[in-house]
Structure 1
Amino acid sequence: MVRSHLLRATPEASPLKPASSPSNCRLSLSPVELRLYFIRDDDFKVKVDIFKTSYQNSLFELPCCDKSGDHHTHSDLQTKARLDTIQVHRSTVVCLDTESVPEFLTSLRFSDLFNLPGEYVPMNPEIFSAMRAGNIELLEKLKSYETPMACLKSDGGDSVLHLAAASGHLELVKNIITECPCLLLEPNSKYQIPLHVAARAGRSAVVKALVASVLYFSPRVPEEDRDRLNIYVLKDIDGDTPLHAALKDLHEKAEVSHLLRYQERIRKLSLSHLIMHWRRSRCISFSDASTRQMETAACLVNADQHASFLANKDGTSPLYLAVEAGNVSLVRAMLNRPGNKIQGKTSTLASQLEGRKSLLHAALKAKNTDVLNVILNDDPSLVNERDEEGRTCLSVGASMGYYKGICKLLDRSTKSVYECDKDGSFPIHMAVEKGHLKVVKEILKRCPDSKELVNKQGQNMLHIAAKSAKVGSFLLGYIRRLDTENHLIEEQDVDGNAPLHLATINWRCRTVDKLAAFASTETKILNIQNKDGLRPLDIAELNLQPDYVLRERLTLMVLLCVYAPKSVGWLPTSGMTLRSRSEPLDAKKYKDHINALLLVATLVATVTFAAGFTIPGGFNSSAPNMGMATLADDSTLFFFLVLDTLAMQSSIVAIVALI
């Protein structure tokens, strides 16, 4: 059997087998992919197609033997490989280094490959359980049954090969292939062939055996039937190829395996050790389950690289899934295309990729700069692609706060800083909205003018900061220091709202406090009116809810503290200051509300008081520590007592305040 990763032998016309040759006769090649055609003719020739252009000038030696099998040393056969034909000396045949064919492949009959069963028979529970358990003895009994093994189907349409492949029973799989090679191409009710189910389960050894079986049959299949044997591009009911199945839900599988592995260990840890363990566990990127999935995917990529670019019904390609998983080696293998020129024109990654082309977005979400570099080096034009929401890759990176990825993109081009998303937001707005100060500083450092950008609502970066709940005081202070001429804080959007208006509308009491402090010396900022003629204080009083929501009352309190010194005539100065002017008094409603709070506070005080006497773990009943807490030496008991005491005291204070 010729080494499959180097050569694929395909007969044309009448096939000619190489003459018998000594064991030391071998073909020494550079690592290029070749397709050999043996043709019976007066002059023996070997046509060599070299697919990898990077190896067009590779040298390789072709020692040969004559028809009698005598070995010859031809130093003059060292030839420079081109994309044409290598003519070998007359009366010689190339003798290839062969490796032993796996035993289960030696007895395969090509005539049985497409001999699919015509009528199916329901599989009984005994056979179903035996296939799932890997019972080879029952398989031997099935050979003596009148019903052919290939006709058996489970309720889900799975054949015996599906069941064995999904469970990872390698020897059983080999025996089934030997007996019924037609099951290699047999789909179940979801249009999944055995390669699908083995790949989804991460059975890398089984996948390799299935791939080896297909490679064994490939040289013997006529050209017109070649497509039927290309199982790597077959799609199931969801449009998934086997490579999709190997990579799909990879993150979920890794997370589940990770949790199961450490569940018992976490239960035994103390609180302090638990925090340390949680921090360490975050560094683990892949579990054993995900590693097996990656090995399976790598095997399928080596078998057929073109399947990496095929999209399923969701528009997702295996390459996109590999980028999401952040596996650099797998992405490199998929992008190492065996030829990037078609009819003299350069074939880019974007032109070959089906479905989603936002690979850079996926790399940014995976927070992997290595994958990001690989994609950008392969096809820089992908930086212009947008995701399903119409966002640029720089906006996605800014939204996530991925500083290293942002720097990589800005190093290549700053043009995308001035490109808005579908909703009109710019990357600087996304970074401000999520509160990523470091990213905001980097963008403004590269493009200082970006601070003046406004979205479709006419809102600048300070408007966005005023609305957002994730903006801290440091970011607000940084933006305010940039606004030396008060342009950002005074600018009004399409509704006439200034940043202070938006902070009040969204009840951001801390943001209002910060902006009001900036505006305390500027009466103009406090008196800016929107299109409805309302100032920030007017908005707070009109929108105040009857229920006592803390952040609403705090926001109003901050505004009152800013406006009160200005001696506004209508500003209320009585004890009803923190109540809306239009709010009616309802004694019964507030009485019921206070009673509910009293009940909750009383329950908390009772439970925490009882927990202080019934110490967790109990007390020692024997000397020398009789009467001492069993967990006295455990640091978690100290934290428990402190928190229990705080809870009891807080509830008592609440009860006193409400009475």
Structure 2
Amino acid sequence: MSGALAAPVEFGPEHMPLGTELVRVLTIGDVSRLKEVLSGEGRTQRADGHVAIKVNGTSSPGAGTGTGSLLGVTINGNTALHLVASRGHAELAAFVCESAPSLVAARNRGLDTPLLCAAKAGSRGVAACLLSRMRSAAGGADEAAALRARNRLGATALHEAVRLGRAGVVDLLMAEAPELASVATDDGVSPLYLAAETRSEQMVRLLLRPAADGTPSPASFAGRHGRTALHAAATFSKDMAQEILNWEPVGPTLLTRADSSGRTPLHFAILHGHLDVVELFLEVHTSIDQTRISDSHGSFPVHAAAIAGSTRILDELVKKCPDYYELVDDQGRNFLHCAVEHNQDRVVQHICQNDTFAMLLNATDYEGNTPLHLAVKYGFPRIVSTLLRNMSVEIGIANKDGLSVQDLANRAITPARWCYFLDTHFIVSNCLCWLGLGTCITPDRRLHPLHQQADPNPTEEGASDDEEHVMLRNGTIGSVLIATVAFAAAFTVPGGFVADDRPSAGTAILARRFAFRAFVVSSIMAFLCSIMATSFLIYGGARENPLSHRIWYKVLASRFMPLAVRCMIAAFAFGFHLVLGDANRGLIVFVYVASLAPLLFCFPDVWIPLQLGLARTVWRRAGWRGLVNIHRRPSSLIQLAQLFMASFLFQYLGGTLLVVLIAAAFAAAIALDISLPNY
């Protein structure tokens, strides 16, 4: 046996290929068969029992058994030792190592050494054999290079064992070559970080296990983008984070280490919503320091908690930093601003209900925007409603540009938004109007001086016009289809007509049935509402009409279209009832229930008052005048009608009442069909 590791065998086209039979034998791991195969390939028996091989016509007594054939490679550059290591044949690996020691450091196309292959396969026996071969060599640079060899992924044998969860190999490598735990990949990922990132607590424990003499683990904690293993553990579990914190003396120091974006492990635990991990981090003596570390955008942990929407974590952080109101980001925003900006309504509600946070409600950022400004700007009606229900929130504050919340609401309304009454910006604007902060749908709202301060952007105007045109076209198509179906239903009534030779010829046969009458009323309502919606959409798209008129036409069309659809669904259910007859009562009940489902769930305006709490907000701020949208005496009946049609009661109560009436009619039809079949 040579005293040192032979020169590494690199893959190349000049190497001889491994024979087919030899590959098969190496794959199945048959040592005796391998010796038989090699015995027929030019071997001679020496007096001392070793086998000499003739390579290129010469005998190499020190080369070992079968060297000439074993130095071949497969098409992927795998040597005989690669094949054996990949399949976990420990006995055969020892034989090959003895026969061809140079193969221990050989690399294939992927730059994997046999040790890397053994680590991937999870073969502790093969890995132990290879390590023993490396240790038995003279050592030095060759041994270190072979042991620390990295493949094309930049991974060492320990990386691969950790990544694939090969606990036996990791345990062996940490016992025999713990220095591998300090080697990182090309992108800076250490085995410990990889273990935490793959959420393997077992691997973390193995990598952090101290040596037999009590020496701490030499593992590196480095990870991607400047993160540490504790950053990765904080996103997973408390137990893993505790393992790393127990790693003395390094573990506790990782709590205040920030990554390339300035975030500490506490930031990561908060953003992933792990309350138990946050509590663990805050129990240590550096808790106050952690809560005062901001990221590259100036966001503190309290900002992260608000963004993540966790009120419990937020309360824990506030306990550690009583001057939380002083913690603002690079834009001067406190955590209430951040909660509003990220639409975390639960956090906003929690803050509004807690008097401790009262000083945050009207705080302004560096642009002069309060949380209410941001909620209006981004169009979050639930948050606007929540903030306005707190009477401490002031609604008359202007920002740095002199804009009030109503000004921001006006700016957000584009022509296309008038086409859809469930648009969030539209709801926010109307909510402010119901509180008396402005006038709903005035002729010159879009001509407000604030809209003329900035130079118009032709590209944005063109995109808005295209969006408006598409919405008007789609709405017109839908309303025309409903009108067509409702019109046809008048002349193809269910049940047919009385024959000409009978009394009341030409009339509907089922005309006296309750379901038939309900069918007729629903069809008429669907037809009339759709016709009006069609007309208003056509008028609203005509540029010749004044802007104020076009806005009104669009708004009215957006009101009549849902009514037409609801009535059409009701007509379908009543018509189906008449067709099914008395023999299919189970199906009749199913039809009514199935038809009621879209009425409740496909028209959000039915639930908006309950979901957003608009009614409570308007009542608390403006009373009954806000609900009917009459804050001062109207100058004419026309103005009174306009104000009422833009009111909360008209916009949301009408649709809700219609659904209630339809549901009551469904229930009455079922009850009458059971109790009075002929009615």
Following TM superposition, by how much is the alpha carbon of 1:392 offset from its aligned partner in structure 2, in angstroms?
A: 1.4
Pair 125,472 (structure 1): closer, same or farther in 2 beyond 3 Å: farther
Aligned match of 1:440: 314
Report the alpha carbon displacement of residue 389 of structure 1 after superposing the two structures with TM.
Answer: 2.1
**Which residue of 256, 259, 269 corresponds with 1:397?**
269
Q: CA deviation at 1:185?
A: 1.6
Aligned to 2:147: 232
Count of matched residue positions in the alignment of Structure 1 and Structure 2:
459
Structure 1 match to 2:293? 419
Evaluate the alpha carbon distance shift between residue 217 and residue 558 of structure 1 in structure 2; reply closer, same or farther with a 3 A threshold: closer
Conservation of the 8 A alpha-carbon contact between 1:208 and 1:299: no
* Corresponding residue number in structure 2 for 1:593: 474
User: Structure 1 149/505 Cα, relative in aligned 2: closer, same or farther at 3 Å?
Assistant: farther
The 1-side partners of 2:212 and 2:261 are apart by 33
CA-CA distance at 1:318 after TM superposition: 0.8
**Cα-to-partner distance string for 1:324-347 (whole Å, 9 max, x where unaligned):** 344445434433444999xxxx99
1:554 to 424, 428, 433: 424
Provide Cα deviations, 1:359-415, integer angstroms capped at 9, x if missing partner.
221211122334434434512222221123220121111111211111111111322
% identity of equivalent residues: 25
CA distance, structure 2, for counterparts of residue 428 and residue 530 of structure 1: 24
Larger radius of gyration: 2
User: Match for residue 495 of structure 2?
Assistant: none
C-alpha spacing 1:415/1:340, structure 2 compared with 1 (3 Å): farther
The residue number in structure 1 matching 2:303 is 429
- Unmatched 5+ stretches in structure 2: 43-54, 56-67, 452-460, 486-567, 577-589, 605-654, 659-679
Q: CA RMSD in A?
A: 4.6
CA separation in 2, counterparts of 1:351 and 1:653?
57
Q: Aligned pair 1:212/2:132, yes or no?
A: no
- 1:222 partner amino acid: A
- Equivalent-residue separation in structure 2 for 1:239 and 1:425 (angstroms): 34
Task: Map Cα deviations across residues 469-526 of structure 1 (whole Å, 9 max, x no partner).
Answer: 3x233x222212445684312111112211111112222221111112225x65xx21
Match of 2:362 in 1: 490
Offset at 1:204?
A: 2.6
SS in 2 for 1:457: coil
What amino acid does structure 1 have at the position aligned with 2:259?
A: D
Query: What is the alpha-carbon distance in structure 2 between the residues aligned to residue 110 and residue 530 of structure 1?
Result: 82
Name 2:17's counterpart in structure 1.
122
Q: Which amino acid aligns with 1:228?
A: E
Tell me whether 1:359 sits opposite 2:277 in the alignment: no
Q: Distance in 1 between matches of 2:79 and 2:467?
A: 72
Match of 2:441?
572
Q: Which amino acid aligns with 1:594?
A: G
Shift of 1:456: 0.7
Structure 2 Cα separation of the partners of residues 350 and 114 of structure 1: 30
Classify 1:335/1:357 alpha carbon distance in 2 versus 1 (closer, same or farther; 3 Å).
Answer: farther
**1:547 aligns to what SS in structure 2?**
helix
Distance 1:558 1:427 in 2: 30
Change in CA separation of 1:652 and 1:589 when aligned onto 2, cut-off 3 Å: same
CA contact (8 A) 1:331 1:371 kept: no
TM-aligned CA deviation for residue 439 of structure 1: 0.5
1:143·1:149 contact (CA, 8 Å) conserved in 2?
no
Q: Using the TM superposition, give the Cα deviation of residue 213 of structure 1 relative to its aligned residue in structure 2, in angstroms.
A: 4.2
8 Å CA contact 1:340–1:347 kept in 2: the answer is no
TM-score of the pair, normalised by structure 2: 0.58
Residue type matched to 2:157 in 1? P
Distance of 1:163 and 1:650 partners within structure 2: 65
2:409 aligned partner: 540
CA contact (8 A) 2:336 2:360 kept: yes
Letter in 2 for 1:204: G
Change (3 A) 1:576 1:357: closer
AA at the equivalent of 1:209: V
Q: Quick one: which of 282, 285, 292 aligns to 1:410?
A: 282
- Check whether the contact 2:135–2:143 (CA below 8 A) recurs between aligned residues: no
Q: Does the aligned pair in 2 maintain the 1:243–1:300 contact within 8 Å?
A: yes
Pairing 1:175-190 to 2, within 5 Å after superposition: 175-190=95-110
1:35-66 deviation digits (Å, cap 9, x = unpaired): xxxxxxxxxxxxxxxxxxxxxxxxxxxxxxxx
Aligned partner of 1:157 among 72, 77, 83 = 77
Distance 1:234 1:651, change over 3 A: closer
- The match for 1:518 is 390
Distance 2:481 2:151 in 1: 56
Cα distance in 2 for partners of 1:330, 1:461 equals 37
Give a deviation string over 1:235-273, Cα, whole Å, max 9, x none.
22333110011123x4xxxxxxxxxxxxxxxxxxxxxxx
1:222 counterpart (101, 123, 138): 138
Question: Is 1:320 matched with 2:193?
Answer: yes
Instruction: Please state how far the C-alpha of 1:431 moved relative to its aligned partner.
Output: 0.6
Pick closer, same or farther for the CA change 1:210–1:149 going to 2, 3 Å: farther
Cα gap change, 1:588 to 1:326, in 2 (>3 Å): closer
Q: Compared with structure 1, are the counterparts of its residues 139 and 386 closer, same or farther at alpha carbon in structure 2 (3 Å cutoff)?
A: farther
Amino acid aligned to 2:436: K
Query: 1 or 2, which has the higher helix percentage?
Result: 2
1:247 is aligned to 162
Q: Deviations over 1:129-178 (max 9, x none)?
A: 66555576467425533672332122322112212322344454444334
TM-score, structure 1 as length reference: 0.59
SS of equivalent residue, structure 2 residue 253 = helix
After superposition, the Cα gap between the structure-2 partners of 1:112 and 1:351, relative to the gap in structure 1 and judged at 3 Å, is closer
- What SS class does the counterpart of residue 526 from structure 1 fall into? coil
1:641 to partner: Cα distance: 11
Equivalent AA in structure 1 for residue 107 of structure 2? P
Aligned partner (choices 288, 306, 311) of residue 184 of structure 2: 311
Residue 287 of structure 2 corresponds to residue 449 of structure 1? no
